[in-house]
């Protein structure tokens, strides 16, 4: 069975839940970050449901 389906209740959609950059796991503990670089606040309006307008100006 697929991992992200209606049956499992987990949907891999851009407008469900919170999105991370590159769909990487979110690190909510600042002391546990083990990285050389970090991407913070890269805004992109994925809530437009694939319609142009707010996303593309």
Contact criterion met (CB below 8 Å) for 30 and 38 = no
Q: How far apart are CA 13 and CA 19, in angstroms?
A: 9
pLDDT tens digits, the chain, 57 residues: what are they?
A: 566 566 666 566 656 666 677 777 888 888 888 888 877 776 666 665 666 565 565
Q: What is the pTM of this model?
A: 0.36
Segments making up each domain of the chain, as ranges? 19-45
**Dihedral class, residue 48 (left if φ above 0, else alpha if ψ from -120 to 50, else beta):** alpha
């Amino acid at each position: 069975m697929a991992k992200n389906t209606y049956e499992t209740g987990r949907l891999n959609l851009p407008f469900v839940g919170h999105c991370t950059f590159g769909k990487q796991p979110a690190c909510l503990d600042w002391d546990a970050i083990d990285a050389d670089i970090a991407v913070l606040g890269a805004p992109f309006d994925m809530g437009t449901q694939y319609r142009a307008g707010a996303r593309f100006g």
